[in-house]
Structure 1
């Protein structure tokens, strides 16, 4: 009788151990499968995937899409191309050039550049890059940069032909990366930037034509600092008090500072400016 009890208990104990062992084997396998799924395991990502659709990039697009659209209507450069280049060149505004020099397109100094500069190692040590007072200035200068003769053929393309523009930029020598065109196309299609190429035009933005300076659109303002309509602007030249200067069309802070032998930072401080943007008709203090 005791032997039967002993045998029965052994069978029950064996069954329990077997079930427990089976569970212990199953859980790690499931856990391993879960980790593999989240890390993609040994599966390779599609060859066309070069950018993850990140929230930081989407925020960058939301912040600068209107600037790109405005530049498109001013110059004819597709907004999708401008945004894709900015995303790619500046890592969505997180690159050293973007954070330290407001340079979102990696544009280097040229013989006609008269603005501030920023030096960093690139293809060669301590290379000279253009520096801007704000990101908008970089976007505007990018448009002006593409007006050079080597890119003239791009402007014969349709504004909605982002593929032609992307590949054309590589062919014209904008970048040395052989995959530059496809990479731009990938960004455009991943974030559907081509939608901005069909945006309706607003009032045309006047160009100052002041190449090589610190770019930013200037809008007429009244004495209270508000945007003035054309009807409120006076054609008469006023007498400006000593030590002050009335901003004219085409003026930049850099140009004004150079004209009056002072520094841009001084003008910003003396006038409590929150940014480096100035407006036509604005009265600036240019000396202590």
Structure 2
């Protein structure tokens, strides 16, 4: 089966490296600008992310800083991670601009929507973790604190905890994208995924137990959305696979109807045409 060549010609390897360097510098510059904008508000931003826990702590208790430099470095770490998080659209734009010239048209039609949907799903996963998961987890932890024990969490460890949960939910919400890609690459079929649904359910809860804190609530809150997103991805993958097969059938029909002439066949055809022209003119 023939394939349409990529839309643009090949670039020398050095030019690829130069372009990659330029785009990486632009990404670093973009992240740096976001850091500079957020830096004056670092303490307020940290307070916002600490609110789900602080709002549930008993009156008179607060978070603490075990290390001497934690009050400075912990908000700075949050700002850097948040800047990268907010710069994801910029990062994906430069990634897309870099790889697009080497992609076929039908690959561009699939990859661009996947990049956009992957970004949105990552953001949705993080928002879901902040507004749904954190209140339930922290409420459970505060309510189970033994009498006589003051829950005073270190700000550095708290930040590590919430970043881990953010990352876990952001990755877990990529299930539809992963499902579509695997089906499009024909690594697996929608029918096979449907047959293995029971194993996928068990696997979702196992992943929830690995990626989240050791409690049933957070495990369930991660596993259930993953299963819902899996069903959405399964539905979309059927549509994508159907479209891919239709395109392949169209290309096969085109190949059967049209066979490009080789150089030899072209020369023979020209000779025959010249001979026929001479015959019609009465020339020998």
The TM tier, using the shorter chain, reads under 0.3
Instruction: Identify, as 1 or 2, the structure richer in helix.
Output: 2
Structure (1 or 2) with the larger CA radius of gyration: 1
Q: TM-score if structure 1 supplies the norm length?
A: 0.24
Q: TM-score if structure 2 supplies the norm length?
A: 0.24
Instruction: Identify, as 1 or 2, the structure richer in strand.
Output: 1
